[in-house]
Amino acid sequence: MSVLRPLDKLPGLNTATILLVGTEDALLQQLAEAMLKEDCTSELKVHLAKSLPLPSNVNRPRIDLIVFVVNLHSKHSLRNVEESLHHVDAAFFLGKVSFLATGDRRLS
């Protein structure tokens, strides 16, 4: 297991790989399906992970964008993202990391 670095692998031609990281499996799956439905001239691949680090695997594709999904109603979700950030190289934060906050609606 290692730190994710943006230049670990060479980019693929007309291919982008997005990594969604979060504890809400159903939400991540729903987001991934919505992304894949969009019409795109390039090939889009979406991978899901509950947390980082990812297992060291030579077959893992290059990650072009990391999206951390945080549920505002869950301390575990926020703590998971905080712990996962330690496994991302600082160079990834230059346009290759995004945060998505969910659960902002008030509960009845």
Nearest one of 72, 89, 58, 62 to 23, comparing CA atoms: 72
What's residue 87's pLDDT?
93
Cis ω before 6 (30° cut-off from 0): no
Whole-prediction pTM: 0.85
What's residue 67's pLDDT?
95
Q: Is 103 left (phi over 0), alpha (psi -120 to 50) or beta?
A: left
What's residue 107's pLDDT?
54
Provide the 3-class DSSP secondary structure of residue 98: strand
What is d(CA 71, CA 74) in angstroms, rounded to the nearest whole number?
Answer: 6
Comparing 60 with 68, the larger pLDDT belongs to 68
pLDDT band at 60 (very low <50, low <70, confident <90, very high): confident
Amino acid in position 7 = L
Interval 2-56: pLDDT, tens: 777 776 777 777 889 999 999 999 999 999 999 999 988 889 999 999 999 988 7
